[in-house]
Structure 1
Amino acid sequence: MMMYDSAVWSPEPCVTCLCSSGRVVCDEATCPPQRCPRPFTPEGECCPVCSDSGDGLDLSGDSLAPSEYTDLHQKALPRTATGREHESEEEDSGEKDGEKRQRKKSTERRQPQGAHSEERTSEKEGKPSHEAEDCWTSREEVEKEAHRSPNQESEEEEEEGEGCFSGGAQLPPLPSACSISERKISCINAKLTKIPDIADPELRSLELIGNAIHCLPDKAFQGTPNLERLDLRKNAISSSGIGPRAFKALKKLTHLYLDGNSLVEVPPALPPRLLELKINENNLQSLEEDSLAELQQLLILELEGNRLSESNVSPLAFAPLRSLTHLRLGQNRFRIIPQGLPASIEELYVENNQIEEIKETSFNHTRNINVIVLHHNKIEEDRIDPLAWIHHENLESIDLSYNKLYHVPSYLPKSLLHLVLVGNRIERIPGYVFGHMKPGLEYLYLSFNRLSDSGIHPVSFYGAYHSLREIFLDYNELKSIPCGISRMTSLRLLRLNNNKIRRLRRERICGVENRDSRLEHLHLENNYISVRALSPYVFPCIRSHASIVLKPQKVK
């Protein structure tokens, strides 16, 4: 068995071991003498205690029977006498202060919430520290417990609720599949069915991925108030299983991941300091006006793989998200661009929806938007309004792959640098379609379309001759190298593989002047080129012949 440094465990009753810098240090519990007529050792304890009320805890009322005292002893002693006795034993044994602190810290982190850590005292006044104030209320609690009738107990249990929200039996310690580091606990595929009962104010990250957790009670995270990252992906959490105050204690939480659960709505009362919220692959069926009302600091929101559409998402749902920069709504049921996008948005992902048109008002208030991803929708070029995005000055990347485009859309943003049109039905690149762009398009991907020689004109790339760095024209129907390639002074990568090219014309790459080309990669494989008949100087402007890929070729 391998343990972390400073780990504490008990190999047998009344023996405690500590892992210290590669050494194992074990101590056997020393019991103080008891001066009472009838001492006895309760079940599960190492040291005898007095059965008389005058010598033990100061309980009011009648003395308890030994069997009744055992239950109270297990609840009360870890908070009072046992902690003080154990502390004095450590001092008597001459153990170093640093080693004691490491042992106490490690023990606290590995105990369930009910098993409280050792009592902490002030060095100057001998009083309990602020962190341990709750440890000194046990006498009143024990007295209340001793005088509680069975009827009162059942009434209190009914008030607490049933199922997820009942008090229930205390959870066992963390399973062996969990790993524990300085400020992080990770329980991945650990077969947990409930949130583990952890009491560690110093814990910052809790991963509970791939378990069978189905509910989050109101007090689920009461023992970890300083969590900053909570990962609950791939569980069975339902909306009805989340208590209205489940996240109330997590005032410092900044990252919350709920992907792969069974939520039908956004959980209530989310921590207001959240910076990142992911609820992908659930069953969200609506976003109300107040669903995200408190998340004014949120930067990243991901709601992919749900059942959202313009009919069940309020136009005001995103209004409170004044700081939002990244929004992912892919794999939903939108037919139009969602309304009411925040002005702060920089990247929008709405791929794999059913979007059919881009309206003039779609991006009216998103002047900071930089990336729009719309692949796998149903957009046709004549359903993109001319004023939808042409005047945007920050929009640099658009992905319209796998839509229903027949030619490269006109009225593209003048600031565009990166255009992806893979997998459409494009037959033509209109002349001057890139002419208005400044500083100019740099990356153009047109793979898997229907481009032929007649669909590319001498002025199709006008405006991009000095800016284009990469062009993908593979898997089309071209029979020769397109016009305009030789005029591209910045081109580094050209893909023409898997077309119908038979003849290579030198001037189409090098131009009439044969000036040096900057091409570093030219792909011409899987065409109909006769490699053996090619002159070794077919492209004299290309510095390295290793840059040209010609094999294999198709059989005629």
Structure 2
Amino acid sequence: MRDSKGWDGKLRVGQQATIADPDADAMEESDHSDHDHDHAAPAEDAEPVEPNESDEDLLEDEEADTDEIDLVHCRIKSIPALRLERFPKLERLGLRQNRITRINMPSSVAANLTELDLYDNLIAHVKGLDDFRNLASLDLSFNKIKHIKNISHLVGLTDLYFVQNKISKIEGLEGLVKLRNLELGANRIREIENLDTLSSLEELWLGKNKITEMKNLGHLSNLRLISIQSNRLTSLSGLSSLKSLEELYVSHNAITDLSGLESNTKLRVLDFTNNQVSKLEHLSHLTDLEELWASNNQLSSFEEVERELKDKKNLQTVYFEGNPLQKKGPAVYRNKVRLAIPHIMQIDATYVRVS
């Protein structure tokens, strides 16, 4: 399980919001900042076939009919220098943690690719994607991108990642009607906007931005998961149209109460860790709830815990550590939670022993 620090960059999660790339935090502090200071991007008119640092052919041992190539941390600067046209059946290309500044792919290769992973490079401008007609997954996380543009023609995209860039506005996504997963965590976004055409969207990741309210989500009828941790939210308003919502992650904000979830009856996971909620209320209708993450708030009443949660038959996990109800009586805290919710299976990070 994650440690609930509010980071949701590079997420591949089940219902516990586990970070699938454990090095993401480290990259944010080390690799990426190193790139910012140590490597200057070349001018836009630089010679496109720049030799890579090593004269060796990184792909000389690769079978010509391979459908997947993964070159991680190989100091690659130039995509053309890889001579990818040798691999006519290539569908998935991973070039993570390199020094690529431009997306410059042979058109024959681009047309066949379904997955392109350029996580942690030095790309400042989204361009060069005109021929990627079959692309389903595009990862441009941990780069230097300021504007989302030149991707609206990628109508087959299902997964799009722009985590840890310098993006201040959600834009340029019109036409991506098949998009299911959009990750924009750790940018400079202040407003949720321009998502109306994303009718298939199921997961929206917006952690570590500067968003003050959840709005403009009404057209996203298939949205199943929202992560908006470490922002500037003060309430849970704006979710009333999201009847399919199952997972909501809003830790590390400034939320004071839990009203606003009246229409979200399918909610299974609710995480409001590290907020300013003082009363456990407005949850009685959430009969499908399985996990409640409420650590480090101002909750003080075991009576509220029992009233709101005792009848939740699917509830397995609760986190209340760091609240007054735990800090005032740590020795009896776990027993009191068990009395309030007899069927609970996990309290904080510890499983309940069945006697």
Give TM-score scaled by structure 1 length.
Answer: 0.48
Q: Which residue of 2 aligns with 1:542?
A: 342
Work out the CA distance in 1 between the residues paired with 2:178 and 2:261.
27
Cα distance between partner residues in 2 of 1:357 and 1:422: 18
Partners of 1:256 and 1:397 in 2: CA distance: 28
Residue 533 of structure 1 and its aligned partner are, at CA, apart by: 11
Indicate the residue corresponding to 2:208 in structure 1.
376
Offset at 1:299? 1.5
Identity value in percent: 20
Q: Extract unaligned runs of 5+ from structure 1.
A: 1-161, 166-190, 205-223, 502-525, 552-556
Q: 1:450 to 1:540 in 2, by over 3 A?
A: closer
2:323 counterpart residue number:
499
Contact between 2:271 and 2:294, CA under 8 Å: does it hold in 1?
yes
Residue in 2 that maps onto 1:183:
none
Q: Return closer, same or farther for 1:486/1:329 CA change in 2, 3 Å cut-off.
A: same
Determine the C-alpha separation between the residues in 1 that align with 2:334 and 2:84: 70
Report if the CA contact (8 A) 1:280-1:306 is conserved. Answer: yes
1:21-55 Cα deviation digits (max 9, x unpaired): xxxxxxxxxxxxxxxxxxxxxxxxxxxxxxxxxxx
Structure 1 residue 420: deviation in Å?
0.4
Query: Could you say which residue in structure 2 is the equivalent of 1:104?
Result: none
Determine the C-alpha separation between the residues in 2 that align with 1:331 and 1:497: 30
Mapped pair 1:356 → 2:190: yes
Q: TM-score, normalised by structure 2?
A: 0.73
2:187 maps to 1:334 = no
Structure 2 unpaired stretches of 5+: 1-48, 351-355
Aligned-pair distance for 1:336? 1.9
- Map of 1:279 onto structure 2: 118
Distance 1:195-1:469 versus aligned 2 partners, 3 A rule: same
Q: How does 1:280-359 map to 2 (within 5 A)?
A: 280-288=119-127, 291-310=128-147, 313-314=148-149, 317-341=150-174, 342-359=176-193
Name the CA shift for 1:478/1:296 in 2 (closer, same or farther; >3 Å).
Answer: same
| Structure-to-structure mapping, 1:125-136, within 5 angstroms | none
In the alignment, is the contact (CA less than 8 A) between 1:352 and 1:376 conserved in 2? yes
Cα-to-partner distance string for 1:310-358 (whole Å, 9 max, x where unaligned):
2xx43xx113322211111001111122322511111011100011001
1-structure distance, mates of 2:166, 2:77 = 21
Alpha carbons 1:343, 1:367 under 8 Å: kept? yes
| Structure with more relative contact order (C-alpha pairs < 8 Å, separation 6 or more) | 2
- What SS is found at the alignment partner of 2:116? strand
Equivalence for 1:528: 328
Q: Provide the C-alpha distance between the structure 1 equivalents of 2:278 and 2:337, rounded to a whole number of angstroms.
A: 27
* Amino acid of the structure 2 residue aligned with 1:491: L
Distance 2:251 2:330 in 1: 28
Q: CA deviation at 1:550?
A: 12
Q: Which residue of 1 aligns with 2:94?
A: 257
Instruction: Report matched runs for 1:78-157 at 5 Å.
Output: none
- 2: CA distance, partners of 1:267 / 1:448: 44
Structural mapping, 1:127-206, within 5 Å: 164=51, 193-195=55-57, 198=60, 203-204=62-63
Give the Å deviation of 1:197.
7.7
The change in CA–CA distance for 1:451 and 1:368 in structure 2 (over 3 A counts) is same
What SS does the corresponding residue of 2:322 show, helix, strand or coil? Answer: coil
Tell whether the 8 Å contact from 2:185 to 2:208 is kept in structure 1 after alignment.
yes
Q: Distance in 1 between matches of 2:204 and 2:130?
A: 25
Distance, in Å, in 2 between the alignment partners of 1:485 and 1:364 is 35
2:342 maps to a residue whose letter is I
Which residue is equivalent to 1:490? 314
Once residues 527 and 305 of structure 1 are traced to their aligned partners in structure 2, the CA distance between those partners, rounded to angstroms, is 39
Residues 531 and 550, structure 1, Cα contact 8 Å, conserved in 2: no
CA distance in 2, matches of 1:444, 1:276: 32
Aligned Cα RMSD in Å?
A: 3.2
Q: Give the number of equivalent residue pairs.
A: 295
For the Cα contact (< 8 Å) 2:317–2:346, is it kept in 1? Answer: no
User: Paired residue for 1:35?
Assistant: none
